[in-house]
């Protein structure tokens, strides 16, 4: 990883930082407003480091999606993650995401919410890897089981709480494994407490039913699951989301 670049808030007006703060359409007014918004969160500096990048901007970031760009923020000595709302996001603010994240936190899921406003969501910084990348270098079955058990268990808790994440069937960017092998589900932007929950089934499809790079590695570790049997155990759980049916599913997937 390249050397991190730490920029105090009052220097974020400069390029290329302004372009990250206001991606993809920086304008001076909006940059100034956002700098003030960061100050309101007591952010003293932003840190540009990580393995992701933003098109046309020559500084590294932690991650990016269609709604946000995630970088590190400094609150004096504390380092946290901040999701910056893209200027072209089809969301007016990040407050819905904050409320969903807070609900997830109440059942001990996801990075802890620290603060939120129109354009910023501050949360616990996860120092780790996206699951597909983690799996490239961690193939020991017992360890992989331990990590996947956490993924499934957290999805079960979300199901029980009536909170549907919404983006777990295509989850390559939404499951993080930190350096102590703890799992964090991220991005509650499309989450809902109104939809029917499908966290466990969606993540199982992604991990064991599909053609993703993670699924391919898991096939090598656990052997290819019989599709019909998978549909059966998923169906039983979907019909009746009990602990017993959940354990049946876990046993099938992780043996």
Residues within the interface to ligand ADP (CB under 6 A) = 62-68, 70, 81, 83, 111, 123-126, 130, 173, 186-187, 189
| Residue 166 contact among ligand ADP, Mg ion, none, beta carbon within 5 to 8 Å by kind | none
C-beta of 157 vs 173, nearer to ligand ADP: 173
- The region of 59-67, 86-94, 141-149, 238-246 touching Mg ion under the rule CB under 5 A is 59-67
In three-state secondary structure terms, 74 is: strand
| Residue 205 DSSP one-character state | I
- Using the Cα atoms of residue 214, residue 219, residue 224 and residue 229 in order, give the sign of their dihedral: negative
53: β partners: 60
**Residue 63: which of ligand ADP, Mg ion, none does it interact with, CB under 5 to 8 A by kind?**
ligand ADP
Closest distance of CB 20 from ligand ADP, Å: 13
Please say which residue, 171 or 233, places its beta carbon nearer to Mg ion.
Answer: 171
97 near Mg ion, judged by CB under 5 A = no
Closest distance of CB 187 from Mg ion, Å = 4
DSSP tag of 112: P
Instruction: Return the number of the residue (83 or 225) whose C-beta is nearest ligand ADP.
Output: 83
Helix (H), strand (E) at residue 184:
strand 183-185
Which residue, 126 or 218, is less far from ligand ADP as judged by CB?
126
In the complex, the smallest distance separating the C-beta of residue 226 from ligand ADP, rounded to whole angstroms, is: 31
CA distances from 135 to 65, 97, 138, 175, 220 (A): 21, 28, 5, 12, 11
For 220-229, the CB contacts below 8 A with 24+ separation are 220/139, 221/139, 221/141, 221/144, 222/141, 222/253, 222/254, 222/255, 225/252, 225/253
Between residues 66 and 143, which has the closer beta carbon with respect to ligand ADP? 66
CA–CA gap between residue 110 and residue 196 (Å, rounded): 20
CB of 119 to ligand ADP, least distance (A): 13
Q: Residue 82 binds which entry of Mg ion, ligand ADP, none, with Cβ cut-offs from 5 to 8 Å by kind?
A: none
Burial code (b: 16+ CB inside 10 Å, e: under 16) for 86-104 equals: beebebeebebbbebbebb
List residues near Mg ion by CB under 5 A: 65, 187
């Amino acid at each position: 990883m390249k050397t991190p670049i730490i920029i105090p808030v009052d220097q974020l007006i400069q390029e290329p930082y302004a372009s990250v703060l206001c991606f993809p359409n920086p304008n001076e007014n909006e940059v100034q407003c956002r700098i003030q918004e960061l100050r309101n969160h007591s952010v003293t500096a932003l840190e540009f480091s990580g393995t992701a990048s933003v098109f046309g901007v020559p500084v590294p970031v932690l991650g990016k999606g269609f709604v946000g760009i995630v970088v590190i923020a400094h609150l004096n000595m504390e380092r946290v993650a901040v999701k910056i709302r893209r200027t072209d996001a089809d969301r007016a603010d990040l407050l819905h995401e904050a409320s969903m994240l807070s609900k997830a936190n109440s059942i001990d899921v996801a990075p802890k919410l620290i603060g939120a406003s129109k354009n910023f969501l501050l949360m616990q910084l996860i120092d780790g890897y996206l699951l597909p990348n983690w799996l490239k270098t961690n193939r020991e079955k017992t360890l992989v089981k331990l990590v996947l058990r956490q993924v499934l268990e957290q999805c079960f808790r979300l199901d029980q709480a009536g909170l549907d994440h919404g983006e777990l069937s295509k989850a390559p960017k939404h499951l993080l494994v930190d350096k102590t092998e703890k799992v964090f589900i991220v991005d509650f932007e499309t989450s809902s407490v109104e939809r029917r929950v499908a966290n466990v089934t969606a993540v199982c499809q992604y991990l064991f039913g599909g053609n993703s790079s993670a699924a391919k590695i898991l096939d090598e570790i656990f052997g290819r699951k019989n599709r019909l049997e998978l549909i059966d155990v998923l169906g039983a759980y979907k019909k009746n989301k009990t602990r017993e049916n959940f354990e049946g599913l876990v046993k099938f997937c992780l043996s």
